[in-house]
A and B are shown apart, each in its own frame.
Chain A
Amino acid sequence: MKKTLIEVKNLSAWFKKNQALSEVNVEIEKNKVVAIIGPSGCGKSTFIRCLNRLHEEVEGAFLKGEVLLEGKNIYDSSEDPALIRRKIGMVFQKPNPFPGMSIYDNVAIGLRLNGMKKRSLLDERIEQSLRSAGLWKEVKDRLNYSGLSLSGGQQQRLCIARALAIQPFVILMDEPTSALDPVSTGWVEELLQKLKKQVTVVIVTHNMQQAARVSDRIAFFIDGKLIEYNKTSRFFTKPESPKSEDYITGRF
C-alpha cells in the first residue's frame, strides 16, 4: 500500500525578492527514490533544501507553504530545525568528510552529538552504517585513517555512512556523483537501490540517465514550477507534458 512520508503543500520559496519556487505540491512515498531534474536555476536544489530547513539558513531566504513529514509540518514553530535535519539528512555534491577526523570519527560525530557515548554501541552503529554505505570492507582495517585519505568515491560513501549513522527517515542528495568518476558513480547508484530499503531518498541530478537508472519517480522543474511528477518508467517513455518531452530529448 502507498505510504506517503513527505507531503509538500503549496510550497513557494524566495531569495529576497527573487522567487525560486512557486506553489509546488508533491507527495513522496516511503522507501522510494525520487529524482529531481530540470535545467540549471530551475529550483531543484532550493526544493530539496526546503525539505530539511536548510533554505532558511541563507540570508534573505524565506518560504510559504508546508512540508509535512509523517503528517507533521516541519515548519511549525514548535519544530527544532536541528532535529528535523537529523530526521532528514543531506549528502552534498562534493564529498566533504570532516578534515582532521578519522574515518571512524567522521561517522561517529553525529551519534556523539546525539549523546551516544558507549564505545560498543558506537562501534556497532559505525560498522552498520559503513556496511550500508558499501564501504566497510574497504576501510575496516584503517578506521583511524583520515577521512581525506580515501578516494573521491569512497569519501562520498563515507558521507553517506555519516548521514545514515543517525538513522534518518530521508536522505537528500544534491548531485552526489557529479564530482565522481564512472566507477565511483556506479557504486553510489548501486548503493541507492540498497539504501531505499531503509530510507527514502530524494536526489538532485543533471544526469538524465542516472535519474532513469536510480529513481522510482521523477519531479521535473522549470523556472521554479513543478512541470511533471510521474513514475520514472512513464516519464522516460511517454511523459505527460510536452515540456518534459522536449527537455529529456534535448529539444528544450
Chain B
Amino acid sequence: MSTKFFDERLGHLKSLIASMGGCVEQMLKEANMIIFKKPSDKKKIYQIIQEREIEIDSLQVKLGKYCYRILAVQSPVAKDLRAILSIISANTSLERMGDLSFEIAKKGRELKEDPLLETSLDCLEELFVHISLMVVDCLDAFINEDEKLARHVILQDQRADSLKDKICLELKTCILKNKELIDTCIQLVGVAEKLERVGDQATNIAEEVVFLQTGLDIKHQEEK
C-alpha cells in the first residue's frame, strides 16, 4: 500500500466530513433563527436549510462510495482501518444530524408566536446553544483526532439529556395550565427531542474519535 496515496485519500475523506459537519452547524444556526429570532424571511431561510439537507445527503453517498473503494483497493489495517471505519460511522451520524436539523427547522416554521411560552423557550435556547457547541466540538475532535476534546463532548451528553427533560416538564406544566397551547407545546417537545438526538449523534462521533485513537469501543458502556 502506498502510504502517501492513502494519507491523501484520508485527508480528502476528512474534508468531506468537515463539509457535512459545516452544513449541520449552519442548519442548526438557521433553525435557531427561525424559532427564536422570528425573521421576516423565514421562508427563505427554511429553503436554504432544505438545500443543505440535500447537499448532506449527496455528500453522504459520495463519502460512502470513497470509503467502499478504499476498503476494497487498499485493505487498510490497524489505525488506517479504524480511521476508515470511524469515517463510515461519522458519515452516518452526520446524515442523521442533517435530517434532524431539517425536522427541527420544519417544526420551527410551523410554530405559532405565543408570549406565554417564554420560560420554556429560554430553556430551549440554552439546549440549542449546548447542542450546537457539542456539534462544533465533536467535529473539531474528529478532524484533529483530539481524544481529550472527544471525551469532553461525551460528558456533555448528560447535560443535554437533563436540559431536554427539564424543557419537557415545563411544557407539560404549560399544557396543564393552558390547553390552548397544546399544539405549540407538542411542537416544542418535538424540537427538544430532536435536538437531544443531534447531541446523541455528536456523542457517537466523539466515541469514534476515542475508538480511532485507542482501539477501544466505548459505546453503551453505561448501559452494561
Determine if A77 is an interface residue (Cβ-Cβ < 8 Å): no
Q: How far is the CB of B42 from chain A (nearest CB, A)?
A: 49
Q: Which residue of B lies closest to A244 (CB)?
A: B78
Q: Check if A237 sits within 8 Å of B215, measured CB to CB.
A: yes
Query: Which chain B positions have C-beta within 8 A of A248?
Result: 77-78
What number of A residues sit within 8 Å (CB to CB) of B?
A: 13
Contacts between the two chains (Cβ within 8 Å), count: 34
Q: Tell which of A212, A248, A250 has the most Cβ of chain B within 10 Å.
A: A250
Q: Give Cα distance in the complex from A107 to B76, angstroms.
A: 40
Query: Which chain B positions have C-beta within 8 A of A244?
Result: 78
Instruction: Say which residue of B3, B75, B78 sits within 8 Å of A238 (CB atoms).
Output: B78
Interface residues of B in 1-25 (CB under 8 A from A): 1-3, 6
Determine if B81 is an interface residue (Cβ-Cβ < 8 Å): yes
Instruction: Say which residue of B6, B81, B214 sits within 8 Å of A236 (CB atoms).
Output: B81
Query: Which chain A positions have C-beta within 8 A of B75?
Result: 209
Q: Give Cα distance in the complex from A238 to B216, angstroms.
A: 9
Q: Check if B3 sits within 8 Å of A250, measured CB to CB.
A: yes
Q: Check if A250 sits within 8 Å of B79, measured CB to CB.
A: no
CB-CB contacts of A215-252 with B at 8 A, as 1s and 0s? Answer: 00000000000000000000011110000110011110
Q: Which residue of A lies closest to B80 (CB)?
A: A249
Q: Check if A251 sits within 8 Å of B82, measured CB to CB.
A: no
Query: Which chain B positions have C-beta within 8 A of A83?
Result: none
Q: Give Cα distance in the complex from A248 to B6, angstroms.
A: 13
Determine if A116 is an interface residue (Cβ-Cβ < 8 Å): no
Query: Which chain A positions have C-beta within 8 A of B1?
Result: 249-250
Q: Give Cα distance in the complex from A245 to B78, angstroms.
A: 6
Q: Check if A250 sits within 8 Å of B6, measured CB to CB.
A: yes
Residue pairs across A and B with Cβ atoms less than 8 A apart, 6 shown, are A212-B77, A236-B81, A238-B214, A245-B78, A249-B6, A250-B6
Q: Check if A236 sits within 8 Å of B78, measured CB to CB.
A: yes
Q: Check if B76 sits within 8 Å of A238, measured CB to CB.
A: no
Query: Which chain A positions have C-beta within 8 A of B79?
Result: 245, 249
Q: Give Cα distance in the complex from A245 to B214, angstroms.
A: 12
Interface residues of B in 76-117 (CB under 8 A from A): 76-82
Determine if A208 is an interface residue (Cβ-Cβ < 8 Å): yes
Q: Which residue of A lies closest to B214 (CB)?
A: A238
Q: Which residue of B lies closest to A234 (CB)?
A: B215
Residues of A within 8 A of B (CB): 208-209, 212, 236-239, 244-245, 248-251
Give 4 closest A-B pairs by Cβ, nearest first.
Answer: A238-B215, A250-B3, A236-B77, A250-B1
Q: Check if A237 sits within 8 Å of B3, measured CB to CB.
A: no
Q: Check if A249 sits within 8 Å of B77, measured CB to CB.
A: yes
Query: Which chain A positions have C-beta within 8 A of B81?
Result: 236-237
Q: How far is the CB of A232 from chain B (nearest CB, A)?
A: 11
Q: Check if A239 sits within 8 Å of B6, measured CB to CB.
A: no
Q: Which residue of A lies closest to B3 (CB)?
A: A250
Q: How far is the CB of B1 from chain A (nearest CB, A)?
A: 5
Q: How far is the CB of A233 from chain B (nearest CB, A)?
A: 11
Q: Give Cα distance in the complex from A245 to B6, angstroms.
A: 15
Q: Check if A237 sits within 8 Å of B6, measured CB to CB.
A: no
Q: Which residue of B lies closest to A208 (CB)?
A: B77
Query: Which chain B positions have C-beta within 8 A of A237?
Result: 77-78, 81-82, 215
Q: Give Cα distance in the complex from A156 to B1, angstroms.
A: 28
Query: Which chain B positions have C-beta within 8 A of A208?
Result: 77
Known interface pairs A237-B215, A238-B215. Does A249 touch B82 (Cβ–Cβ under 8 Å)? no
Q: Which residue of A lies closest to B6 (CB)?
A: A250
Known interface pairs A208-B77, A237-B77, A238-B78. Does A249 touch B3 (Cβ–Cβ under 8 Å)? yes
Q: Which residue of A lies closest to B4 (CB)?
A: A250
Q: Check if A249 sits within 8 Å of B2, measured CB to CB.
A: no
Q: Check if A251 sits within 8 Å of B77, measured CB to CB.
A: no
Query: Which chain A positions have C-beta within 8 A of B76?
Result: 249
Query: Which chain A positions have C-beta within 8 A of B214?
Result: 238
Q: Check if A251 sits within 8 Å of B215, measured CB to CB.
A: no
Q: Give Cα distance in the complex from A248 to B3, angstroms.
A: 11
Q: Which residue of A lies closest to B81 (CB)?
A: A237
Q: Give Cα distance in the complex from A245 to B81, angstroms.
A: 11
